[in-house]
Structure formats: C-alpha cells, structure tokens
Amino acid sequence: MIELRHFQYFVVLAQTLHFGRAAQQLHISQPPLSRQIALMEAELGVQLFERTNRSVRLTRAGNRFYQDAVEILNSVDRARRNVVAASRGEDGAITVGFMMSSAYNILPALTRTYAAAFSRVDMKLAETLPNLLAEAVRAGQTDVGIMYRPEDLTGLDTATVFREEMVAVIPRTHPLAKVRVLDAAQLAEESFVSIPREIAPLVYDLVVTHCRRSGFSPHIRLETNLQQTIINLVGEGLGVAMVPMSMSGASASGNALFKPLRNAPVAEVALLWSRDNHNPCVATFVENARSVWREMQRAPGARLVPDLPDTSVL
C-alpha cells in the first residue's frame, strides 16, 4: 500500500532526478530509496522513472503523477496547519452575544482587534438582553457574552473588560439643565425610568443603592428593557434616569442631557463564558479582550473610568 512517505520519496527524486542526492535530502541511504520507488511503481502498475547508468528522468506517467503527488503533499501540509490552528483557536467559528450598551463602549474595539488578529475565525454577533444572554452562554447557544455580571454565575467564568461611571439623564428642559455635576439627592423628588431588575440586576442595584446612600429611595415610574428607550422616555419628559456613561453616545438622545454624578457608581462590563465550552476560539477571544482592556488602561491620559463626552449645557 502506498503511504505518505512514498509520495515524499517520489517528489524529492522527481525534483533531483538523482538517487544519491534524493537519498541525502531524505536522510536515508540510496538502496532503500530505490526499493521504495520500485515498490511504488509495482503498486501503481506503471513506470514512473526511466533509469540508465548515467541518468534518471520522469516518464510521461511520472510527470502526471508528480503534479498529483505535489498537490497531495500540499493538502496534507495544509490539513496539518489547519488542525493546529483550530486547536489553538486560530481557525473555526465563535458566536458573541452582547448587550446594547456595550455597542457604545467596548464591543467595537474587541471585535475589530479580534477580527484583525484571527481573520480565519468566523465571528457572529448577536444583540441580546443581559438576562437572556447569560442563559444562552450557559446553555452553549452563545460562546461568549459581553454584559454586566449576572447574579448567578453557576458554571460560568468572567473577566472584566471595561469600567464606566453611571451618569444622570434628565430632559433638556429640566430645571437642573445648567448644573454641571449633579448630586443624586437633587433627584429625590423625581420619577425614575429604569431597566427592570430581572433584566440587569447589577445596573438596577447600582442606581437604587446610590440613591439610598444619597438619602432617598427612587420612585420608579416606568420600566423598559432597553437603555436607549430609557433615554428616549427621559427626553420626552417622562422622568429622569441613571444609565451607563457610554449611552451618552446614543444617536437619538437630542432631548436628553447626560450629567456627571458626584461620587458616581461604577459599572463593570464583563466577558462571560461557560466552563463547559471547549471551543478553542473562546480562549483566543478572552485573551484578546484582556489585551484590549490593558491597552486602554495604558493609553496616554487614560483612566479606569473614561471621561464623559461634553454633551451637557454649561
């Protein structure tokens, strides 16, 4: 039976047309090489080389076989590289779920750098509510989630990839519109628009705890699942809110003002993945995310919590 090494013997001999030099390149002696080529010809039932005492040359069948043999060896080498790349997470596919607010902070940098570094990985993105995203990761429907840490981390691993302050959101016509930095106590009599606790408990608890430390419990008038909707409702004069600072970059926020909060609470965005997920691309995505976060922290003038864009009325 023809083995892979026989193809290697044949190709080297076809390229050198000299048994001695071919044997030297293959690190074997000449007699075994001659026997293996003869056995190969017998197995195929064709003569691959014309031999004389002075020369060796390919037959017409040998020329044809040479083209196929080179292709076979290249395919084997490519398969070897591919399987090694796949085992290292450099090839394959990964599904990344994200919550809306991460699209305004860490998601673009993570996906851009990962796509550049691992161009052979098929990366799919899906926006999902935080509570559903955690379950999708746990169930193996999503490889990696970018979200605020859920309360239940059973079977999950996490890594912080971004930190940002919460900011107040008020209507543009609000009496506090010209105040540069708000104390939460100044909102004690206001109605709040909030994300439900079951959707994002970390953010909900940050808001409630910050208000209570400021001497009041917020009166939550409206609840909605999306941070963008919260901003829109505030802009329509239906209350005030506290949202992650990155949401100040939302495009449809013309009637809402974002105000820094004194002693603002800080929300951490985490990468979330299942301990039972053996997709090697998860490890490369996690390491890439950690690298991006380290670079952001080392950037000139960087702070752990980014500066608020200047959108307030002075």
pTM above 0.85, yes or no: no
Q: Per residue in 259-277, pLDDT tens? A: 999 999 999 999 999 998 8
Give CA–CA dist 145/227, Å, rounded. Answer: 18
H-state helical runs in the chain: 4-16, 19-26, 30-44, 60-87, 107-117, 130-139, 201-213, 227-235, 280-298
Give CA–CA dist 289/28, Å, rounded. Answer: 49
Q: Per residue in 181-208, pLDDT tens? A: 999 999 999 999 999 999 999 999 999 9
**Buried b or exposed e, range 98-129, using 16+ CB within 10 angstroms:** bbbbbbbbbbebbbeebeeebeebebeeeebb
Contact present, 10 and 48 (Cβ < 8 Å): yes
Q: Per residue in 226-260, pLDDT tens? A: 899 999 999 999 999 999 998 887 755 578 999 99
Flag residues of the chain having pLDDT under 70. Answer: 81-82, 84-86, 88-89, 251-253, 299-314
Look at residue 50 and give its three-state secondary structure: strand
| Domains of the chain with CATH codes | 4-88 (1.10.10.10), 92-161+268-298 (3.40.190.10), 164-266 (3.40.190.290)
Give me the helix-helix angle, 19-26 and 4-16, nearest 10°. Answer: 130
